[in-house]
Structure 1
Amino acid sequence: MLYPPPAFRFSVTFGSAGRNRDNAFREVNGLGPELETEALVEGGQNTFVHLLPKAAKHPKLVLSRGVATMESGLLQWCQEVLEGGLAQPIAPQLLHVFLLDQDGGPLRVWAVRNAYPVKWSVEPFQSTRNEVAIERIELAYAGSNRVA
C-alpha cells in the first residue's frame, strides 16, 4: 500500500443502503469540519487577542463530473429537491466518499451525514474549448467523519 495514497481514484455512494454508487466524479471538494472562533480582546492588554472556540461548521460538499444522464439517481434527487419548489419535504441522504486503492478497494472512507443539494450548475459552454461538459452539485451537510 502506498503512503500517502494518491487522490485520483475515488467513488461516492449515497443513500442509507449505499446502493447508489456513482464513480464518474472528476472532483470531490469540501470534506471536513472547521471550528469557528470568536475574537476576544484582553482588557488592559494590547499585545494579544484570545480566540475562543464556537461551533464546528462544514463547508458545502462540491461534486464535479461530466453531465450525467437522466437515469442518474443523484441527478433525480437533485431535481426533486431543487426543482420541486419545496412541495415535498427534503429527504437528506447519507453519503460515503471512498478513496480507492489500485484494485478498487477502499483505502479510506468518509461518511457525510444529512446531506441535501443546495445548488446544481453546469460550467459554461465555450466553442473554443474541446472539453467535457461539467456539472457541479453542491450539498449542505450536518457533519462528516472518517470511518476508515
Structure 2
Amino acid sequence: MPQELDPGTSLFFNLSIDGESLGRFNECEGLSSQVEIEQRQEGGNNGFVWQLPTRVSFSTIRLTRPLTPETAKVAKWISSIQTGITRPTAQIRALRADGSEVARWGLIDVLPVSWQGPTFNPANPAVATEILEITHHGFTD
C-alpha cells in the first residue's frame, strides 16, 4: 500500500517569474480573492434577492524568507520596472522538504509592490529576513 504524504508537514514556497526562479520562501500569505456582489430586488418576487457577481479583486501576496544569494534576483526584477513596466506571469509552488509539490498557483500580470530588506541590530541579533510583496490580476493554471 503506497504511503500517503502528509500535507501538514513543513512547507516552503518557490516563486518563479516567467519561468525564472526567484528562490524559495518560508512564508506565503495573501493567496486570496474576493467577489463583489450586487443585490437586485425583482418586482413581485418576495422569496429572495438576486445576488449578482460584479467584480473580482485579488489581495497582494507577501513572501518572506531568510536573506539568501537569490535576493539579487529579486532586486534585479524590481529594478527592471524602472525601464518600463511589463507584467509577467508567475507561479508559486508549495513544496515539502523532499521537494515534492503540494499545490501550485499561477498568477497573471504580476508586479512587485514592495521589498523590505533585513534590519541589522547588534543589540537584538536575529535571522536577517527579506519580505517581497507582489500584486496580480488573477489566477491561472
Structure 1 unaligned blocks of 5 or more: none
Are the counterparts in 2 of residues 33 and 144 from structure 1 also a CA contact under 8 Å? no
Counterpart of 1:93 in 2: which secondary structure? coil
Rounded to whole Å, the distance in 1 between the matches of 2:102 and 2:124 is 35
SS of the residue corresponding to residue 77 of structure 1 reads helix
Residues 21-52 of structure 1: CA deviation (Å, up to 9, x unaligned) = 512x1211111321123467899xxxx98764
Does the C-alpha gap of structure 1 residues 40 and 126 become closer, same or farther in structure 2, counting only changes over 3 Å?
farther
2:13 is the counterpart of 1:11: yes
Label 1:96 to 1:105 Cα distance change in 2 as closer, same or farther (>3 A).
same
Match of 1:142 in 2: 137
Cα–Cα, structure 1 residues 41 and 64, in superposed 2: closer, same or farther, change >3 Å?
farther
Q: Secondary structure of the equivalent of 1:76? A: helix
Q: Give RMSD over aligned pairs.
A: 3.3
The amino acid across from 1:19 in the alignment is E
Name the structure 2 match of 1:22: 23
User: What residue ranges of structure 2 are gaps of 5+ in the alignment?
Assistant: none
Using the size of structure 1 for normalisation, the TM-score is 0.71
Q: Counterparts of 2:95 and 2:52 in 1: how far apart (Å)? A: 38
Cα distance between partner residues in 2 of 1:134 and 1:117: 17
Q: What is the identity, as a one-letter code, of the residue corresponding to 2:16?
A: F
**For the Cα contact (< 8 Å) 2:28–2:61, is it kept in 1?**
yes
Percent pairwise identity: 25
Aligned mates of 2:51, 2:41 — CA distance in 1: 9
Distance of aligned partners of 1:10 and 1:39 in 2 relative to their CA distance in 1, 3 Å threshold: same
Question: For residues 66 and 41 of structure 1, do their structure 2 counterparts lie closer, same or farther at Cα, with a shift above 3 Å needed?
Answer: farther
Structure 2 residue identity aligned to 1:14: S
- Between stretches 128-137 and 106-115, larger displacement belongs to 128-137
Distance across 2 between alignment mates of 1:49 and 1:128: 60
Partner residue of 2:36?
36
Query: Is 2:54 the partner of 1:54?
Result: yes
Q: 1:2 aligns with which of 5, 17, 25?
A: 5
> Is it true that 1:76 corresponds to 2:71 in the alignment?
no
Q: Is the 8 A contact 1:7 1:99 kept in 2?
A: no
Query: In the alignment, is the contact (CA less than 8 A) between 1:30 and 1:62 conserved in 2?
Result: yes
Q: Matched residue of 1:98: which SS?
A: strand
Cα shift at 1:142: 0.8
Amino acid at match of 2:5: L
